[in-house]
């Protein structure tokens, strides 16, 4: 437990430029306080101590605004930044060096017993207000954009945005954990793509109308230059809608 707490302190110093000293972190960082109290309640939970772990988690919630079920398994070097409104369910698992912002929910689906909350691999960043729901797995080095809702497994080294969450980028490049807001605007790209196609089709329709009018009046018809064909198999649209939607 001591090793995990030291790792939590170290990651705060590494990732938060506002952290000016040990005493400040101990007294003024609710994310660190909630994790420290959780590690105590989790140890009691594993020893099947009745009631006390749940009571301690409720006191932690009242004190920090962060609700972590004592059954959740959390790795070392985890940073909950600010943290107000963060909810972590009973069977959730969080890997080493993960970063969670305020309002994040690692929630369960269904009422069945057993695994029903998500698993975050190492070095996952979950943006403010994002919801990760169900017994899914999020691969290492993945970024989940602020406000996203993730309900399906995500492979490693991915960037996920939207509702429901869609993978808009995947590579082996190591991410910057503090750049959770520097995400591509998938909706804007798709809308721009479709608007360009609509403009092209309107031009073709106008050209066809002129061609028909010229033919009916006996005038010499102008040569038509149809636009380049374009289908919904465009890469941006596939990434946004998902492969199964466009088939």
Alpha helix positions (H), 16-72: 22-28, 30-46, 52-64
Give yes or no for residue 141 having a pLDDT over 60: yes
The residue that leads in pLDDT, 55 or 191, is: 55
Q: Is the pLDDT of residue 219 over 90?
A: no
What percent of the chain stands above pLDDT 90? 34
pTM reported for the whole predicted model: 0.69
Q: Is the pLDDT of residue 23 over 90?
A: no
Q: Would you say residue 173 has pLDDT above 70?
A: no
CA distance 119 to 126: 12
pLDDT value at residue 14: 79
| More confident: 31 or 182 | 31
Of 73 and 208, the one with more pLDDT: 73
Distance of CA 157 to the CA centre of its chain: 12
Strand ranges (E), 173-235? none
Per-residue pLDDT at 127 exceeds 80: yes
Task: Tell me what the mean pLDDT of segment 209-234 comes to.
Answer: 65
pLDDT of 88 above 80: yes
Please give the helix or strand (H or E) that residue 170 lies within, else none: strand 166-170
Query: Is 82 within 8 Å of 100 (Cβ atoms)?
Result: no
Mean per-residue pLDDT over the chain, rounded? 81
Q: Residue 39 pLDDT > 70, yes or no? A: yes
**Would you kindly state where each structural domain of the chain is located, as residue ranges?**
2-170, 186-246
Cα-Cα-Cα-Cα torsion 174, 132, 62, 14, nearest 10 degrees, comes to 0
Tell the CATH topology of 2-170.
UDP N-Acetylglucosamine Acyltransferase; domain 1 (2.160.10)
Between CA 150 and CA 143 the distance in angstroms is 11
Residue 174 has pLDDT above 60, yes or no: no
Query: Averaged over 103-127, what is the pLDDT?
Result: 88
- Section 81-94 average pLDDT: 91
Report which of residues 222 and 159 the model is more confident about: 159
Task: Say what the pLDDT of residue 74 is.
Answer: 93
The radius of gyration of the chain's CA atoms, rounded to the nearest angstrom, is 25
Q: What is the DSSP string of 105-155?
A: EEE--SS-SS--S-EE-TT-EE-TT-EEESS-EE-TT-EE-TT-EE-S-B-
Label each residue of 66-99 as H, E or C: CEECCCCEECCCCEECCCCCCEECCCCEECCCCE
């Amino acid at each position: 437990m001591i090793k995990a707490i030291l790792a939590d302190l170290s990651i705060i110093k590494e990732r938060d430029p506002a952290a000016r000293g040990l005493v400040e972190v101990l007294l003024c960082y609710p994310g660190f306080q909630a994790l420290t109290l959780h590690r105590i309640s989790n140890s009691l939970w594993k020893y099947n101590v009745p009631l006390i772990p749940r009571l301690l988690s409720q006191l932690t919630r009242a004190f920090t605004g962060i609700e972590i079920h004592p059954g959740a398994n959390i790795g070392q070097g985890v940073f909950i930044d600010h943290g107000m409104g963060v909810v972590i369910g009973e069977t959730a698992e969080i890997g080493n060096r993960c970063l969670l912002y305020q309002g994040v929910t690692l929630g369960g689906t269904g009422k069945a017993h057993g695994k029903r909350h998500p698993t975050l691999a190492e070095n996952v960043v979950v943006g403010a207000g994002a919801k990760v729901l169900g017994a899914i797995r999020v691969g290492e080095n993945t970024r989940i954009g602020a406000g996203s809702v993730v309900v399906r497994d995500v492979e490693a080294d991915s960037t996920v945005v939207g509702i429901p969450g869609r993978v808009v980028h995947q590579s082996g490049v190591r991410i910057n954990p503090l750049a959770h807001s520097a995400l591509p605007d998938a909706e804007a790209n798709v809308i721009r793509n479709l608007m360009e196609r609509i403009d092209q089709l309107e031009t073709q329709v106008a050209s066809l109308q002129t061609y028909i009018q010229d033919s009916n009046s006996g005038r010499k018809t102008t040569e038509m230059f149809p636009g380049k064909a374009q289908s919904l198999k465009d890469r941006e649209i596939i990434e946004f809608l998902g492969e199964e939607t466009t088939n």
